[in-house]
Structure 1
Amino acid sequence: MAYEPKRLGGETIYRNEVFQTGLMSQLLDGIYDGEMTVGELLGHGNFGVGTFNGLDGEMIVLDGNCYQMRHDGSIEPASLDQQTPFAVVMNFVPTIRRGLPNNIIRKSAAQVLDDFTVSKNYMYAVKIVGDFEWVRTRTVQKQEKPYPKMVEATENDEVVQFDKVRGTIVGFRTPIYEQGIGVPGCHAHFIDDEHEKGGHVIDFKLDNAYVEICIGTNLNLHLPLTEAFSEADLSPEDLAEQISRAEKHA
């Protein structure tokens, strides 16, 4: 179906599909194995974030290439037959490109990004490119069965800091109402220009960077057909607290 662009908040908006496999609440319950391969995932988008079966590191998809980031901050290309329990991708076609103020940290950058978007009620793919004074990341370590809950699996993850580095942050800003489906707020991963180091973004300080933003208006949600998923507890009473602990949000 072809969609006509709309005018919203003074901007011309085109519909873009966000594809997601798995749920954040599934990971929280320790369901770390999915059926979708990296090759299948890349058929749905050239830009995104996620993880691998067994929580075997962080995933970043940039320019149609998928990379696996290990807990020590190292990176290697992912193979097309690797599988993922959770990933979010889209074909990145930015409609907004703006310079960002120097010397701001993640929290301040999030406030600036809010001013660039038309509404908090849509999804946004966010790409920050440039020089960073520093970037702090952490990366999950591969888990062994029986899998622990995610808050336990990520409890002792070490923070790795990269200083004076040039690279790209790939992320999604997700509305609060998607809590449990995705990660509310901004879920972002970092990769340097040499594709040698990166991880799940905890914080950063910009030196000289710009941002590109692509709005997501359609969500295509793919759920795994597995016994573990069918039996998972996807709506715990402390869902928000678990997400905050697992994602190490400040």
Structure 2
Amino acid sequence: MKPQEWKLVLFLVVIAVAGVFASSSFYDIFAGNGGEGETLYQVSTLSALLEGVYDGETEIGTLLERGDTGIGTLNALDGELIVLDGRAWQVRGDGSVHAVDPAVKTPYASVTSFSPDITLDLAGPFDLPALETAIMDALPSENLPCAVVVEGTFTNLTARSVDRQESPYPPLVEVTADQHVFSFDRTEGTMVGFYLPAYLEGVGVSGFHLHYLADDWNGGGHLLGCTAERVRILLDITPELDLSLPSSGQFLDIDLSGDRSGDIAAAERGR
């Protein structure tokens, strides 16, 4: 995209956000819907996942009682989890998409009852960093977690998934070094995930953590990159965090101290 074209996109974003603020106070934007959809419910932490804590305690059925939109993984790190419109989907290591049985457990997941506070319609093309910049410009604060849903048409989209692991589990950075990457020349679908402030690094991924699911359920996974052609961005500010930690197993004995930013970056990118 040429510089002047990107400036036009940002101008449109500013106008859209200005319209939101003109009709609502700052409080109304993220808390004016009666409290519905304002809590991010999370199972375990990313730091624990980095250390190979892949055995889950929380069933998907229970997770769906706490939110209808979100991301995560499945027991034994069996692929990527996408929760959309109250349904849970698994993208396996071979790229195939499957509905998840409610009895299957998750070692790490984040969900919310999605109720968008901000809606933006943007026309590209623009890459993933530009899309993230547009979202950041629309947020009322960088210090509040936010659920992100992006619906639209994408080209040059890449996503990844990983194979189910066997105990004793290797660290996450070793698993993602052997990740499977899937490419889509042109696809219509939905990105789902969260923006987290920097102070929550280790609890989750600071910044953006997004998964993708194609509308025809023919692919998806952990989002690595894309070009967005025409999208609708839906943002749900979630100022309340409900963190459910494992009460047994490996989590109780592992060392979760220290800076894990390097490992998180490596696990996010993979090879």
| TM-score (structure 2 length as normaliser) | 0.86
- Structure (1 or 2) with the greater helix fraction: 2
Match of 1:73 among 68, 90, 95: 95
* 2:239 is equivalent to residue 217 of structure 1: yes
The residue identity in structure 2 corresponding to 1:127 is V
* 2:143 is equivalent to residue 143 of structure 1: no
In 2, distance between residues paired with 1:227 and 1:164? 43
* 2:25 is equivalent to residue 7 of structure 1: yes
* 2:87 is equivalent to residue 89 of structure 1: no
Q: Give me the identity figure in percent.
A: 36
In 1, distance between residues paired with 2:257 and 2:93? 29
Bigger Rg, which one:
2
Structure 1 unpaired stretches of 5+: 1-5
Q: What is the aligned residue count?
A: 243
Q: Which residue of 2 aligns with 1:26?
A: 48
Q: Which residue of 1 aligns with 2:188?
A: 166
In 2, distance between residues paired with 1:133 and 1:102? 11
| TM-score (structure 1 length as normaliser) | 0.94
The residue identity in structure 2 corresponding to 1:214 is D
Q: CA deviation at 1:101?
A: 3.3
| Structure 1 moving runs of 4+ over 6 Å | none
The answer to whether the 8 A contact 1:76-1:196 is kept is: no
The residue identity in structure 2 corresponding to 1:13 is F
Q: CA deviation at 1:159?
A: 1.6
In 1, distance between residues paired with 2:146 and 2:62? 22
In 1, distance between residues paired with 2:49 and 2:145? 21
- What CA RMSD, in Å, does the superposition of the two structures yield over aligned residues? 1.6
Structure 2 unpaired stretches of 5+: 1-23
In 2, distance between residues paired with 1:12 and 1:142? 40
The answer to whether the 8 A contact 2:176-2:270 is kept is: no
Q: Which residue of 2 aligns with 1:122?
A: 144
In 1, distance between residues paired with 2:30 and 2:261? 31
Match of 2:57 among 10, 35, 47: 35
The answer to whether the 8 A contact 2:162-2:178 is kept is: no
